[in-house]
Structure 1
Amino acid sequence: MSNPFHHDLTHFDDVLRFWVNERPDATALDQEGRKTSYRELEENTRRIIAVFEAHGVGKGDHVAWLGKNSDLYCQLYIASARIGVVVAPVGWRLAPPEIAYILKDTGAKLVLAGEEFVETAKTIAHGLQTKPTVIGEMEARAAIAAQTPAEGFSKADDGDPVLQLYTSGTTGNPKGVMLSNGNLFALRNPGNAADLPWNHYNTDDCMLAAMPCAHIGGTGLINIAIANGIRCRVEAEFTPLGVLEAIEEGATHMFIVPAALQMVVQHPRAAETDFSNLRYMLYGAAPMPLELLKEVVRTMPDTGVMQVYGMTETTGTVTHLPPDDHSLDGNERMRSAGKAVPGVEIEVRGPDNKPVPVGEIGEICVRSPTNMAGYHNLPEATASTIDAEGWVHTGDAAIMDDDGYVYIQDRIKDMIITGGENVYPAEVESAIYGHPAIAEVAVIGIPSEKWGEEVKACVVCKPGHDLDVNDVIAYTRERVAPFKTPKSIDVIPEMPRNPSGKILRRQLRAPYWEGQDRQVS
């Protein structure tokens, strides 16, 4: 028999039916000892489709998940993908106004919530014109178990949006990135055709999903696991101990952001942990400091370490820095984000939208079958991100070498990446701006050993006002998520501006980034 892992299916409905035929009793989902086989997953998702029907939810409608990572969310996601319902996982760390914006933007008819978020969800839903139905996790599980599995439903078309992930917006509001079955599975076949070793999965492999499901680095791993018919171990949230225990208990593959990885390798248990199960560890969302990478290789010498680069708008990974390009002593290529994965085209372009010469700085542009369908209800934002030829303009400035390796230099946009979370200054600035003592504010990212970058606010006081820094931080925290709240505040006499009056964030950042290799930590 040919390797079943190399099927060429590109739709969740087909994939699920395939694995029920190939490996019906194999574990698909595993959380806190609760195991769901592929046969049960296929049947449960049909039960969820019946629940959708009972609530008048069909193709093109939105449902939302407000909660931590859960095997229930995984099943909600897959059920949605089978029939073209759009699922929107909402970051549980967001502040209520941010959650309300997303629920309103999706127009979700149904909101499923983890038990600890049910009251928040109900309070928010009550204030929305759409009045979505809120169902808690325990009630949802009971309702699903009581349903007769749906039969004879129409599966989604490959291009129908089925997953909507929210990415922080440069203008203060997040944008819903619409991804389809076609986007989610498009790079499997080119990767398999290239016979890349990390595209080969064994029947006893296990993907560890510990990054948040509201990010492509969380839900994307569920995708990879189910596509390859392996076990997906779901951790409700990232903890260093949880990751170490999962590895000892059989996790073979994982993705992690460097700030989280640092916590794992520096945890007291790491020294006595057996890492031999872990075959591949992918890292990304921020560059890996060389000293940390050396510590990782020392701690888990038999694990293939691989950097990946991508964004929500490209359904995740579009470049990779393979294990062979990593060395304990460090090398020039380890300063790069790697090169395009099979099936993806990458160019570094200038302001004229033409490729710049090798070695010159420009914007990373990506053409890939994984490029999003667009931003939900934002045609202008979509058109400014995806050009007429289908290239996504990432906003990341980089240099490409003769071999196609991409070296990220800075962000054209002012986004801050802190612990793998994306923060746009504009949304934090708008949260701070109403403070009675503040006349002007500019938010920047500064280097952080722990988080890669951390958020700093530079403020100009109103005449005659004194500023209590802790009061400003508390004020901001009420309006945005804690990870977006400034860790520190500088009071400055005036903002540096260009001749047209635009605040020069780069000038504010400069003192903090002196001596750094690049302006991205």
Structure 2
Amino acid sequence: MAVKIQQDFLSFDELLNHWAKESPDQIALEMGERTTTYGEADVLTRQLIALFRENRVGHGDRIAWLGKNSDRYFLLLYAAARMGAVIAPVGWRLAPPEMAYILGDTGTKVLFVEEGFIDTASEVTAAMENAPKVLEAEAAFRMAKDMAPADYQPAALDDPILQLYTSGTTGNPKGVGLSNRNMFSLRKPSMDVAVPWQTYYEDDCILAAMPCAHIGGTGLSAIATSAGIRALVLPEFTPDGVLRAIQSGTTHMFLVPAALQFVIQHPLAKETDFSRLRYLMYGAAPMPLELLKQAVATMPQAGLLQVYGMTETCGTVTMLPPEDHSLEGNERMRSAGKAVPGVEVQIRSEDNSEVPRGEIGEICIHSPSNTAGYWKLPEATANTIDSDGWLHTGDAGIMDEDGYVYIQDRIKDMIISGGENVYPAEVENAIFGHPAVAEVAVIGIPSAQWGEEVKACCVPKPGMEIEAGDIIAYARERIAAFKAPKSVDVIPEMPRNASGKILRRQLRAPYWEGQDRQVS
């Protein structure tokens, strides 16, 4: 097997130009029976740029994708990244009002839609004042293939090319702008750190199984493109789909722990040959030790890499390498690892000064992969990124003397359920209009399956009764099902401090008693 020599490029445009010349017949994207080589991707993305122009999409304009994971989505991303348009993937599991908010907030000019979501797109855009033009994806690609490849001015490295939405504490999601530099700065070979998991071979394949509306899904495309290897795209995560992908030659993949649990407990796992799977990255939620032991036993040849990051850091900023994993378990396996090359991590106090090693504070990140800020939200940007460029994660942690970061709690109230971020304010807003609810507070509680699950604590209006099933159904009509509460506690009054603030920690305490930390 020949080693793929990664190039010191920082953009999709530079990389597609390079691999189209060096490896034109190498498969870039594979989905089902459909494959696209790097040579074909180079031409097709230029044709898509011509399609963008015909629909008045230029530099800095927004387009959007509504559908599951698709090679079509990734090609649209590559085309936008080459000429400086910005693509916003819309989570297909979101409720129509949530979709409409993202489309309205971006000012999307063209919405590319998978065939199965045409009715949803029609419902969403019909209620919008300035609705985007809707193009069915396959029809759009047929049109593009009849066009001459366009000439264009390549995007500047710091121009936004991708806008991912992360839930906001105020109830509305925030658009995180990410640039070519953000996507590729930590994947440069010039980092001069020779590590096995950053060495790729010609027949390597990275699996994209996590949702493309998340950095854990879309971010893998940058790894594949930087290394000039094949990206195998699954429309959505299914345990048998992942196992078949491993059987067919997947060498690298990323899964959230809840997804990994489904994979290794699936009956097909016993029949799957895991010998070609070299590295399994896991993150977005901590890995329970017992599940980790099962993973090691099921796929002993695979190197396990715990990764920690967020949308605002364009993914991974710390990593726990394979040598720090053991079947017996060890203290370091409770950590999120150390900063990857090119990243600085500090634990800071409320006055924004670094605390001594071993003391708790907020995890702060300085990295070329950090977002420049939130779309049209200067105050939120200033509250997250300080004047020196340090990004404040909202996670509380400790750093030991060797630089390993241990996450202790979340300074913000975010809940991570099955790798999905859920903010209490979103769920509370969805429940608050219920006629029987006087007050509501949403918390995360431990879940063996999902890491955390959403619980609503509700105070009824005088003379009213609350039925848990009604609350859950009411919420599901207004927000995505994964955000809706799995359970409801009816309580006589909310615990509050002297200033009247609801004490979420007090609501959570009975459920987290005996846990190592206050996040699962």
Counting only pairs closer than 5 Å after superposition, residues 181-192 of structure 1 correspond to structure 2 as 181-189=180-188, 192=191
1:31 aligns with 2:45: no
Greater shift, 243-252 or 465-474, is seen at 465-474
1:215-243 deviations in whole A, cap 9, x for unaligned? 00000001111111000000000000000
Contact 1:280 / 1:304 at 8 angstroms: preserved in 2? Answer: yes
Q: 2:203 maps to what in 1?
A: 204
CA distance in 2, matches of 1:6, 1:64: 30
Q: 2:282 maps to what in 1?
A: 283
Report deviation, 1:192: 4.7
Q: Which amino acid aligns with 1:495?
A: M
Counting only pairs closer than 5 Å after superposition, residues 87-98 of structure 1 correspond to structure 2 as 87-98=87-98
CA distance in 1, matches of 2:114, 2:285: 29
CA distance in 2, matches of 1:162, 1:267: 38
Counting only pairs closer than 5 Å after superposition, residues 288-367 of structure 1 correspond to structure 2 as 288-367=287-366
Tell me the secondary structure at the aligned position of residue 416 of structure 2. Answer: strand
For normalisation by structure 2, the TM-score amounts to 0.99
Contact 1:6 / 1:192 at 8 angstroms: preserved in 2? Answer: no
Gaps of 5+ in 2: none
1:394 aligns with 2:393: yes
The alignment-based identity, stated in percent, is 65
Q: 1:125 maps to what in 2?
A: 125
1:476 aligns with 2:475: yes
Report deviation, 1:188: 1.4
Tell me the secondary structure at the aligned position of residue 482 of structure 1. Answer: coil
Q: 2:83 maps to what in 1?
A: 83
CA distance in 2, matches of 1:407, 1:235: 32
1:350-375 deviations in whole A, cap 9, x for unaligned? 00100111111000000000000110
Q: 1:7 maps to what in 2?
A: 7
Tell me the secondary structure at the aligned position of residue 130 of structure 2. Answer: coil
Greater shift, 116-125 or 456-465, is seen at 116-125
1:428 aligns with 2:414: no
Deviating above 3 A after TM superposition, structure 1's stretches of 4 or more consecutive aligned residues are none
CA distance in 1, matches of 2:87, 2:226: 18
Greater shift, 339-348 or 468-477, is seen at 468-477
Report deviation, 1:122: 2.1
For normalisation by structure 1, the TM-score amounts to 0.99
Q: Which amino acid aligns with 2:56?
A: G
Q: 2:147 maps to what in 1?
A: 147
Q: 1:112 maps to what in 2?
A: 112
Q: Which amino acid aligns with 2:17?
A: R
Q: 2:60 maps to what in 1?
A: 60
Tell me the secondary structure at the aligned position of residue 516 of structure 1. Answer: coil
1:162 aligns with 2:166: no
Q: 2:173 maps to what in 1?
A: 174
Give aligned pairs, total: 519
Report deviation, 1:467: 1.2
Q: 2:376 maps to what in 1?
A: 377
Q: 1:103 maps to what in 2?
A: 103
1:129-183 deviations in whole A, cap 9, x for unaligned? 22210011221222122222112x1000001000000000010000000000011
Contact 1:191 / 1:343 at 8 angstroms: preserved in 2? Answer: no
1:372-406 deviations in whole A, cap 9, x for unaligned? 01100001000000000000000000000000000
Tell me the secondary structure at the aligned position of residue 186 of structure 1. Answer: helix
Gaps of 5+ in 1: none
Tell me the secondary structure at the aligned position of residue 176 of structure 2. Answer: strand
CA distance in 2, matches of 1:469, 1:140: 45
Q: Which amino acid aligns with 1:196?
A: V
CA distance in 2, matches of 1:104, 1:327: 48
Q: 1:519 maps to what in 2?
A: 518
Report deviation, 1:127: 2.2
Q: 1:418 maps to what in 2?
A: 417
Tell me the secondary structure at the aligned position of residue 387 of structure 1. Answer: coil
1:12-31 deviations in whole A, cap 9, x for unaligned? 11100100111000100000
1:49-70 deviations in whole A, cap 9, x for unaligned? 0000000100000000010000
Q: Which amino acid aligns with 2:284?
A: A
Q: 2:251 maps to what in 1?
A: 252
Contact 1:191 / 1:199 at 8 angstroms: preserved in 2? Answer: no
